[in-house]
A and B are shown apart, each in its own frame.
Chain A
Amino acid sequence: MIAAKALSDGLEESAALNYRRELTMKEMRRGVLVAPLFIYLTAIFVVPIVLMLIRSVEDPEVSRALPNTATLIQAWDGEGLPSAQVFAALAADVKQAALDRTLGQAGNRLNYAIPGFQSLLMKTGQKISDAPAVDATDALVQIDQRWKDARYWLALRDASSKYSLFYFRTALGFSTSEPATEGRGLYLDVLVRTLWMTLVVTSACVVLGYPLSYFLANAPERLRNRLILFVLLPFWTSLLVRTTAWFVLLQKHGLINDTGMFLGLWSQPLELIYNRFAVYVAMTHVMLPFMVLPLYSVMLKIPKTYLNAAATLGAHPVRTFWEVYLPLSVPGLSAGVLLVFIITLGFYITPALLGGPADQMLSYYIAQNASNFGNWGLAAALSVLLLAVVGAVILLFGRLGATATTREA
């Protein structure tokens, strides 16, 4: 009896072992299939983006160009002016950096903190070699009175470590070294504007998309299959083509203005383009299929019998919709909202072509800082913010989706 049990246990164990080995082999074979794309995307996509994002906390220019000053100034408590030792170090560093041609980069970085710092530094670099080598403090102040201003020294101290949160502080609108200057808090406004515009477009897509999906899903099959092409064609048409179409329609002498004036609805061309209205209309047009397609496919699967059951049990159509249909369509709705929301957050082309300066979204400022101003640190910090918002939205929806499924189960 015991022997038999031991034997069967042993057999079972070896069978389990075999099974597991087979499974491991299969899993490995699957891994080998996934590996090429995984490695490709990690190398070509993920790592480059991470490297770029790391730029947001790198702050190497000043400590590279002015190494001794950078070390010494960190001991300064920020009261009054730094010690004479720091002044002397700066005078020597600036002289050397002017020779090494690294002064311009340091000046460029300091200019982000206080506009005009670069020219101060370059001027100092030019004149310092002629100055008599007596007292460095006097020599610097003689070159420019601004060296008596603690703000410049605070900005210098702020920029003296290799890594800092300077670009994030700039992005979020609080800066330690400077009092309120023009443009401060600009990017915080842009972030709020981006979220607001995304919210408006997403809401417009829900308002237009939900009834349309309902209509399509409940239409006779032949009609439904024809009409869904009206949603699919915009989905397949190039974003630029659709934006161009709105560009043509909304122009001063475009189709909408001409038609309106022809019909006598208005006598002067309306300002339809280069404003928020144009951006909202075009972005809603671009995103609407992303709302309708997931909603429609979920609604198609909602059994009509459920609604009939509710009606038979005496529920008012409104109540049937509210308590039966709507909850069943939530998976499609949340998929659509998530898609529209995260894609809209990153819009760049449509606002750039159809909007005015006050209608640009975060992407525009990221591009502008990187390619027009060469301010990669700030562009990277803003990219981190944009990605963080996208990530937060996905996590939020993941959580919502999870609760929805548990409730369903």
Chain B
Amino acid sequence: MGLTKRNPSFPKLALGVFSTMTLAFLILPIIVIIPLSFNSAPYFTYPMPGFSWRWYAEIFGDSSASVMWQRGILNSFIVGISSTFVATTLGTLAALGLSQSTWRYRNLVYAVLVSPLVVPAIVSGLGLFYVFAKLKLVGTFWSLILAHAALGAPFVVITVSATLKGFNQTLLRAAEVHGASPARAFYEVTLPLILPGVVSGAIFAFVWSWDEIVVTLFLATPPQHTVPIRMWSGVRESFNPTITAVATLLIAMAIILMLVVDQLNQRNARFNSASR
């Protein structure tokens, strides 16, 4: 297989065609929505009668609908940044503690740490609502920040653990031998090496928070509604091209963050091969 260079065989050709079609299936639905957000008419099809920024003006203008979108964006940033901060701090510490530990109940601890990834969102939403309602937290930013931090922390644990797997422990011993305090060794040896994992995890947690909808539906009242909640009600109630403009902005954000994480992964791979 893959030995004959000339004369691509039929299976190889079929594989190429099939894979190209699958890649098109993956990417086209996302791509076609972008031009539609510049449509001068409120239709969702081609050909477009003209180019216009009007749907972006709907987001950033000063009508009551625009104010709702802007409020949503602000809320998503408030919840996203705060919860990412909590998730990254707690997640990084936990990953450091978990690496090379040999406790008897390590698997149980790990199961709790990644449980938010496994529990279906509807069950998480119901559980958090059930308890937060009793604590009078529903309808506050606190409930969203606490919940999103819990949901985002496992990503940080996983990405930082992955960087620690390639982490050369002798470097820490070397620092110790040369008289560095544990704190100094952490800041000058460990942290720079695991930083790509920390940042990747933080980006994952941030993106997750921006994408989160089910738990947020349970915990938020209109003043805390985030971008996904606004989109959700927009699609259900009055679907208009403003939503395609919001979607385009979110796709742009996804592309930027994806490229950042891609760079970090490559850097991490280089670091790992260097530190070995």
**A residues whose Cβ falls under 8 Å from a Cβ of B:** 27, 29-38, 40-42, 44-53, 55, 208-209, 211-212, 214-216, 218, 227, 229-249, 251, 253-255, 258, 285, 288-289, 304, 307-308, 311, 317, 320-321, 325, 342, 345-346, 348-349, 353, 363, 366-367, 370-371, 376, 379-380, 383, 386-387, 390, 394
How many chain-B residues does the 8 Å CB contact rule pick out? Answer: 80
Contact of A215 among B16, B25, B96, B231 (CB under 8 A): B16
Chain A to chain B contacts (Cβ below 8 Å), 24 pairs:
A33-B93, A33-B97, A34-B93, A34-B113, A37-B153, A41-B113, A41-B150, A44-B150, A45-B150, A51-B131, A211-B15, A236-B207, A236-B254, A237-B254, A238-B211, A241-B231, A244-B235, A244-B243, A244-B244, A245-B33, A311-B3, A346-B123, A349-B232, A380-B126
Q: How far is the CB of B112 from chain A (nearest CB, A)?
A: 6
Contact between A241 and B239 (Cβ–Cβ < 8 Å)? no
Q: Report whether A208 and B22 are in contact in the complex, using a CB–CB cutoff of 8 Å.
A: yes
Residue among A216, A239, A240, A367 with the highest chain B CB neighbour number at 10 A: A240
**Closest chain A CB from B4 CB (angstroms):** 10
Report A-chain residues with C-beta under 8 Å of the C-beta of B124: 45, 49
A241 touches B45 (CB 8 A): no
1/0 contact string of B1-41 vs chain A (CB within 8 Å): 11100000001000110110011011101101100100000
| Interface contacts beyond A34-B101, A36-B93, A317-B11: sample of 19 additional A-B pairs, CB < 8 Å, sorted by A | A34-B93, A34-B113, A45-B127, A211-B18, A232-B262, A233-B255, A234-B30, A241-B231, A241-B251, A244-B244, A245-B33, A251-B44, A307-B2, A311-B1, A353-B232, A366-B122, A367-B125, A379-B126, A386-B122
In the assembled complex, how far is the CB of residue B100 from the closest CB belonging to chain A, in whole angstroms? 8
From 95 to 138 in chain B, residues with beta carbon under 8 angstroms from any chain A beta carbon are 96-98, 101-103, 109, 112-113, 115-116, 118-132
Closest to A32 in B: B97
Known A238-B211, A304-B2, A390-B120: A229·B127 in contact at CB below 8 Å: no
Q: Is the CB of B254 within 8 A of A248?
A: no
Does B258 lie at the interface of the complex (its beta carbon under 8 Å from any beta carbon of A)? yes
In the complex, A245 Cα to B35 Cα: how many Å? Answer: 12
Asked if A387 and B120 sit within 8 Å, CB to CB, the answer is yes
CA distance A31 to B94 in the complex (A): 8
Instruction: Report the bound CA distance from A325 to B15 in whole Å.
Output: 16
Q: Which chain B residues border A208 with CB–CB below 8 Å?
A: 22, 25
The reply to whether the CB of B78 lies closer than 8 angstroms to some CB of chain A is no
| Chain A residues within 8 Å of B250, by CB | 237-238, 241
Contact of B131 among A33, A41, A47 (CB under 8 A): A47
Cβ A383 vs Cβ B109 within 8 A: no
B27 with A233: CB separation less than 8 A = yes
Closest A residue to B94 by CB, please name it.
Answer: A37
**A238–B228 touching, CB < 8 Å:** yes
Cβ of B27 to closest chain A Cβ, rounded Å: 5
Q: Is the CB of A48 within 8 A of B132?
A: yes
B247 within 8 A of A: yes
- The CA of A376 and the CA of B232, in the complex, are separated in Å by 24
Name B116's contact: one of A29, A41, A390 (CB within 8 Å): A41
**CB pair B258 A285 closer than 8 Å:** no
Bound-state Cα–Cα, A349 to B27, Å? 20
A240-B30 contact given A34-B98, A37-B113, A376-B130, CB 8 Å threshold:
no
- Whether A253 lies near B44 (C-beta < 8 A) is yes
Is B43 in contact with A253, judged by CB distance below 8 angstroms? yes
CA distance A304 to B3 in the complex (A): 10
Enumerate chain B residues within 8 angstroms of A311, measured Cβ to Cβ: 1, 3
The contact string, 1 if C-beta is below 8 Å from chain A, for chain B 64-76, is 0000000000000
Is A36 in contact with B102, judged by CB distance below 8 angstroms?
Answer: no
Query: In the complex, which residues of chain A have a beta carbon less than 8 angstroms from the beta carbon of B270?
Result: none
* Chain A: minimal CB distance from B91 (Å): 6
Min distance, Cβ B103 to any Cβ of chain A, angstroms: 7
CB <8 Å contact, A370 and B126: yes
**In the complex, chain B residues whose CB is within 8 Å of the CB of A47:** 131
Complexed CA–CA distance, A367 and B98 (Å): 36
**Contact, CB under 8 Å: B150 / A40:** yes
Is the Cβ of B30 less than 8 Å from the Cβ of A233? yes
How distant is the Cα of A55 from the Cα of B134 in the complex, in angstroms? Answer: 14
> Are B126 and A52 touching (Cβ within 8 A)?
yes
Chain A residue with Cβ nearest B33: A245
Chain A residue at smallest Cβ distance from B32: A255
B257 within 8 A of A: yes
A227–B23 CB distance below 8 A: yes
Hey, which chain A residues are within 8 Å of B19, CB to CB?
A: 211-212, 215-216
Q: Are A346 and B257 in contact (CB under 8 A)?
A: no
Whole-angstrom distance from the CB of A14 to the nearest CB of chain B? 22
Q: A33-B93, A233-B255, A240-B211 are in contact. Are A320 and B22 (CB under 8 A)?
A: no
**A51-B130, A236-B207, A247-B239 are contacts. A27–B102 as well, Cβ < 8 Å?**
yes
Indicate which residue in B130, B147, B218 contacts A55 across the interface (CB closer than 8 Å).
B130
How long is the Cα–Cα vector from A367 to B109 in the complex, in angstroms? 30
Q: Assess whether B236 is interfacial by the CB under 8 Å rule.
A: yes
Cβ-based interface call for B55 (8 A): no
Residue of B nearest to A36 (CB): B90
Query: CB within 8 A of A366: which of B30, B123, B131?
Result: B123
Whether A241 contacts B257 in the complex (CB less than 8 A), given A36-B90, A346-B121, comes out as no
Q: Is B157 an interface residue (CB 8 A)?
A: yes
Determine how close the nearest CB of chain A comes to the CB of B111; give it in whole angstroms: 10
Cross-chain contact B36 with A30 (CB below 8 angstroms): no
* A376 and chain B: residue at smallest CB distance: B130
